[in-house]
Amino acid sequence: MQRDETSDRETVLAVSGLRKSFPVARSWFGRHRKSLRAVDDVDLSIRRGETLGLVGESGSGKSTLARLCLKLIEPTAGQIRLFGEPIERLSPRAMRPLRRNLQMVFQDPFASLNPRLPIGRILAEPLRNFRIAQGADLARRVEALLARVGLPADVVNRRAHEFSGGQRQRIGIARALAPEPKLIVLDEPVSALDVSVQAQVLNLLSTLQDQAGYSYLFVSHDLAVVRHISHRVAVMYLGRIVEIGPVESIFSTPRHPYTEALLAAVPDPAGRQRGGTRRRGPRLRGEIPSPINPPSGCAFRTRCPLATQRCVEERPALLGSGDHAVACHLRQA
């Protein structure tokens, strides 16, 4: 069985058996009657200098998994290791010194930047909070952060509304870089930007990673973007990883019917030249089922063109050889 390596010294973050349930209804006596299992028995790891792309439809649980990895929400069960040390039971106070290693860039840079504060103060805040700099050194560090994301030093007194969307996302990235983190979670960081600006921000992220060895967990529903930036890709469906592997092998030889359907929905410029506009493969039917009442067996069986009786009765494990693993009864080597 494929379990992500957690003993590797290059592993920055590793999670195993990770679960998160949310209560959604209570009885008259206050007891929980139903729960929504947003993340269900997930194992994965992220190595130093690696980008792990996390893809899936809306409702697949990818944003919840990203927040669990940063311990912004508490897991219901499972283990989270940062550099091999378990952190899942640490209190907010005990987590505080570790927080500088774990940063996040949000989808909407405008909403995530305080509109009342000048950019210089926004960038100075994490430097002060983590006691990285003060006084004249603080101003020098803020200037250096702006330079790293391609913004001039004279923007320090401007406020968020005075910048374009792409510039605001650069500021969001600069704020995440301030404490020199080891892992940055990027939650749909370019989906609110124009395509040309998306490419600039993705190239900036790649350059920063080459320079400093940051690890990224890159959450997106856009497979073209994920292909551009990721080293490995994990595909999520109804709270579980259904396929994980190196980016080339996920895109050239996808094994899970869900991955095939996601890829078939992506426009293919090469296919257009041959008279078609999309890759060949099954089309996704229907909607993702409710995580409050997921299907028995394989969660994808209600939309899978290959489903058999075994898929109704038995949940497929995530199995594979080498780096590529899949959770499908019919597609395991």
Strand stretches in 191-290, DSSP E: 215-220, 232-237, 240-246
Binding mask 257-286 for ligand SF4 (x = CB under 6 A): x-----------------------------
Of 194 and 314, which has the nearer Cβ to ligand SF4? 314
Calpha distance 260→70 (Å, rounded): 30
How many Cβ atoms from other residues are within 10 Å of residue 194's Cβ? Answer: 12
Residue 60: φ, ψ to 5°: -80, -15
Binding mask 227-256 for ligand SF4 (x = CB under 6 A): -----------------------------x
Q: Which stretch binds ligand SF4 (CB under 6 A): 165-173, 193-201, 275-283, 305-313?
A: 305-313
Determine, following the binding rule CB under 6 A, whether residue 298 of this chain makes contact with ligand SF4.
yes
**Burial (Cβ within 10 Å: 0-12, 13-18, ≥19) of residue 90:** middle
Determine, following the binding rule CB under 6 A, whether residue 328 of this chain makes contact with ligand SF4.
yes
Question: Site for ligand SF4 (CB under 6 A): which residue of 301, 318, 320, 324?
Answer: 301
Of 34 and 310, which has the nearer Cβ to ligand SF4? 310
Of 10 and 314, which has the nearer Cβ to ligand SF4? 314
Determine, following the binding rule CB under 6 A, whether residue 311 of this chain makes contact with ligand SF4.
yes
DSSP 8-state class, residue 301 = T
Question: Site for ligand SF4 (CB under 6 A): which residue of 300, 318, 320, 325?
Answer: 300
DSSP 8-state class, residue 177 = H
Calpha distance 192→84 (Å, rounded): 35
Cβ atoms 147, 153 nearer than 8 A:
yes
Determine, following the binding rule CB under 6 A, whether residue 306 of this chain makes contact with ligand SF4.
yes
Binding mask 184-203 for ligand SF4 (x = CB under 6 A): --------------------
Determine, following the binding rule CB under 6 A, whether residue 37 of this chain makes contact with ligand SF4.
no
CA atoms within 13 A on the CB side of 56: 28
* CA distances to 2, 25, 124 from 144, in Å: 42, 50, 11
Residues found near ligand SF4 in the complex (CB under 6 A): 256-257, 298, 300-301, 304, 306-307, 311, 316, 328-330
